Structure 1
Amino acid sequence: MSFRRALVKAPIAQQSIRRLATAAAAVGGTNMTVRDALNKAMEEELDRDPKVFLMGEEVSQYNGAYKISRGLLDKFGPKRIVDTPITEMGFTGLCVGAAFAGLKPICEFMTMNFAMQAIDQIINSAAKTFYMSGGKLPVSIVFRGPNGAAAGVAAQHSQDYSTWYGAIPGLKVISPYSAEDARGLLKAAIRDPNPVVCLENELLYGQTFPVSDEALSPDFTIPIGQAQILREGKDLTIISHSRNLNFCLEAADIVKEKYGLDVEIVNLRSIKPLDLPTIFKSIKKTKHAITVEAGFPCFSVGSEICAQVMESEVFDYLDAPIERVTGCEVPTPYAKSLEDFAFPDTPTVVRGIEKVMSLGEWA
């Protein structure tokens, strides 16, 4: 179910993220924006493997539309940091062909919405070729760029493609949240012999997160398909990914103060493959769950998680039905007041928790 805004005043300050930063400082580490984490990950992988190159619109001389590729042209030159015309089908086809030849392209889209122009290259060429060649032609390629809604960019620039790409055999799909996620997952994707779609969030690029000393190592990777328990709890499990986790953390603080609920939060990190063992273990412990995402309600990531739970022994552990908190079933409005209403926020997540736990207006 897609809940709308509730009459709950959510704190803007990210208390949970500050607590994480304090914990990281206690054991060493530093703070880093998601933008810098992606930039450094690409720099290290370009340095590590001469077969890696970056191609896309404005990635070179302009340092990237979002400055993700800042400084890479100066270090690696125009043969490895390649600007392209505005032709997604063309440069995506070039990248896929280069992967066929044994190179390791990073194909950047200014937004994943523009990847619609290259959907045939991504799915029919990249995703299916290893299988259709009988395992003789691996396709090591990363398709990356901002995914989902930003702020005031209207319907054609705001779609979440998690479920689109998650439905395709042959693709791996990652969705980083924190700077450590972005760094570890992108490095793992570049090294992976399979095509990987990296769905970033534009509104997270400038957000700062703690990064441990371990994650600063050039050898650090996060295995694709491994979720993270972002916050431990015992009363209810929230399963989410990307920027929505900000709202989940804030909602967990609210229901802790208001009802004494101890909420566990699972950061998926990977859409395909899903880390079902981590999800199942958490639900078995808390016996209640909601999923939170900014995609459409029909055929969503949450829908798949609900189906997997229903078809497993975990269903017997539930004390209430799982609720899905999603975006609205509508093309994203341009007007800010309507756009804010179209996607989950902290009060929406609180309402989802209250419904599952039979609290508030659901009591």
Structure 2
Amino acid sequence: MRSRSPLSPPAAVSQVTVRDALNQALDEELERDERVFLLGEEVAQYDGAYKISRGLWKKYGDKRVIDTPISEMGFTGIAVGAAMAGLRPVCEFMTFNFSMQAIDQVINSAAKTCYMSAGSIPVPIVFRGPNGASAGVAAQHSQCFAAWYGHCPGLKVVSPWSSEDAKGLLKASIRDDNPVVVLESELLYGVPFEMSEQAQSKEFVIPIGKAKIEKQGTHVTLVAHSRPVGHCLEAAAVLSKEGVECEVINLRTIRPMDMETVEASVAKTNHLVTVEGGWPQFGVGAEICARIMEGPAFNYLDAPAVRVTGADVPMPYAKILEDNSIPQVKDIVFAVKKTLNI
């Protein structure tokens, strides 16, 4: 057996930030399909407000990477019309809070057209940008829209956590013939995650609608999406020292939701805790709990399902209040102990 020389490349797993993973995905899809183009505020000459589109304008030019005025209703309408006409736009919102300016285009124009045209007009468009809480940006920049957009038939909604999620789900979204909402987390953009050689290949995609079990466990199922997945893994590490083994499920997709994976886990652990940064009423966790109640997994529950959510208030500006409005590791640990009655 031949040994590796000191000059040969290292093992094919490297650290890649979520920002760079998204940039890779956009670069590869712009290169792969000339119908793909990116538009939004600051995406071109400035390289993106969060540097997600760094280098793409210089590489692909004005027709493929387009700076827009500060007019979400306008440029979203342009993008939806372009999708109806056969192009594949990627429409960036500087924060999903600003997608409220364009929600008529997202829902009434994009989500409903394929159905209302009896399938004759597909709308292959991606709406992407940071969603949920950032840090110190108060209520009008800190809302989670997973439940809002997950509510609407005609849309697909994905919510990545890791760099692998970010790249694989964005590429799948761009290739999909339906409108897809990609809810990223600003607080994860600079976070590095391990990415395998396979995940860094140009053909790597993650199927929309499939959750991932990030950690196997036997005592309780934790289900989360986006940044709270990391909090669940931290809570699981804390609880493991006390003899409690949590199974952590990264939803990845909000709509369509992979309930089969959640149900199978609940059948194994007999307990369920959902975790999200959004508000409690009509939230993602509420939907998961309702479906567990209505489905076969309900018979396996040994205790009521518990939701860990953001506080039911507009996000405060003050840091100490903000911290208390977003689920923390200690809140997840408390919820697990409550459901296990320990």
Question: TM-score when scaled to structure 2?
Answer: 0.97
2:95 is the alignment partner of 1:111: yes
Whole-Å separation in 1 of the counterparts to 2:11 and 2:221: 27
For 2:75, the equivalent position in structure 1 comes to: 91
2:215 is the alignment partner of 1:215: no
For 2:104, the equivalent position in structure 1 comes to: 120
Tell me which of 157, 164, 174 is aligned to 1:180: 164
Whole-Å separation in 2 of the counterparts to 1:306 and 1:313: 12
Which amino acid in structure 2 is aligned with residue 151 of structure 1? Answer: A
| Equivalent position SS for 1:139 | coil
After TM superposition, give the deviation of residue 27 of structure 1 in Å: 6.6
Listed one character per residue, the Cα deviations across residues 205-238 of structure 1 (whole Å, up to 9, x for unaligned) are 0000000111111001000000000001111100
| Equivalent position SS for 2:166 | helix
For 1:4, the equivalent position in structure 2 comes to: none
Tell me which of 23, 29, 50 is aligned to 2:34: 50
Listed one character per residue, the Cα deviations across residues 237-276 of structure 1 (whole Å, up to 9, x for unaligned) are 000010011211111011111x201110000000000001
Tell me which of 61, 73, 80 is aligned to 2:64: 80
After TM superposition, give the deviation of residue 28 of structure 1 in Å: 3.0
Whole-Å separation in 2 of the counterparts to 1:300 and 1:30: 35
Tell me which of 136, 142, 151 is aligned to 2:126: 142
Which amino acid in structure 2 is aligned with residue 256 of structure 1? Answer: S
For 2:312, the equivalent position in structure 1 comes to: 329
Which amino acid in structure 2 is aligned with residue 128 of structure 1? Answer: K
2:263 is the alignment partner of 1:280: yes
Number of residue equivalences: 334
Tell me which of 262, 266, 290 is aligned to 1:307: 290
Which amino acid in structure 2 is aligned with residue 127 of structure 1? Answer: A
Whole-Å separation in 2 of the counterparts to 1:77 and 1:176: 28
For 1:19, the equivalent position in structure 2 comes to: none
Whole-Å separation in 1 of the counterparts to 2:13 and 2:29: 21
Tell me which of 265, 281, 286 is aligned to 1:298: 281
For 1:289, the equivalent position in structure 2 comes to: 272
Whole-Å separation in 2 of the counterparts to 1:241 and 1:313: 23
Structure 1 unaligned spans of 5+? 1-24
After TM superposition, give the deviation of residue 31 of structure 1 in Å: 1.0
After TM superposition, give the deviation of residue 29 of structure 1 in Å: 1.8
Which amino acid in structure 1 is aligned with residue 308 of structure 2? Answer: V
Listed one character per residue, the Cα deviations across residues 266-294 of structure 1 (whole Å, up to 9, x for unaligned) are 00000000001101111101111100000
After TM superposition, give the deviation of residue 313 of structure 1 in Å: 1.2
Tell me which of 85, 88, 101 is aligned to 2:85: 101
Which amino acid in structure 2 is aligned with residue 130 of structure 1? Answer: C
After TM superposition, give the deviation of residue 93 of structure 1 in Å: 0.2
After TM superposition, give the deviation of residue 26 of structure 1 in Å: 9.9
After TM superposition, give the deviation of residue 348 of structure 1 in Å: 0.6
Whole-Å separation in 1 of the counterparts to 2:93 and 2:231: 27
Listed one character per residue, the Cα deviations across residues 171-219 of structure 1 (whole Å, up to 9, x for unaligned) are 0000000000000000000000000000000000000000011111100
Which amino acid in structure 2 is aligned with residue 283 of structure 1? Answer: V
| Equivalent position SS for 2:127 | strand
For 1:22, the equivalent position in structure 2 comes to: none
Which segments of structure 1 move beyond 4 Å, counting only runs of 4 or more? none
For 1:349, the equivalent position in structure 2 comes to: 332
| Equivalent position SS for 1:114 | helix
After TM superposition, give the deviation of residue 162 of structure 1 in Å: 0.2
Whole-Å separation in 2 of the counterparts to 1:144 and 1:208: 20
| Equivalent position SS for 1:230 | strand
Whole-Å separation in 1 of the counterparts to 2:291 and 2:308: 17
The verdict on how the C-alpha distance between 1:312 and 1:27 changes in structure 2, with shifts beyond 3 A counting, is farther
Whole-Å separation in 1 of the counterparts to 2:309 and 2:157: 19
Which amino acid in structure 2 is aligned with residue 260 of structure 1? Answer: G
Which amino acid in structure 2 is aligned with residue 301 of structure 1? Answer: V
| Equivalent position SS for 1:216 | coil
| Equivalent position SS for 2:199 | helix
Whole-Å separation in 2 of the counterparts to 1:354 and 1:252: 12
Listed one character per residue, the Cα deviations across residues 44-88 of structure 1 (whole Å, up to 9, x for unaligned) are 000000000000000000000000000000110011000000000
For 2:246, the equivalent position in structure 1 comes to: 263
| Equivalent position SS for 1:264 | strand
Which amino acid in structure 1 is aligned with residue 105 of structure 2? Answer: Q
Which amino acid in structure 1 is aligned with residue 131 of structure 2? Answer: N
For 1:251, the equivalent position in structure 2 comes to: 235
2:155 is the alignment partner of 1:171: yes
Which amino acid in structure 2 is aligned with residue 204 of structure 1? Answer: L
Using the aligned pairs only, state the percent identity.
60
Whole-Å separation in 2 of the counterparts to 1:76 and 1:241: 33
Higher RCO (C-alpha under 8 Å, 6+ residues apart): 1
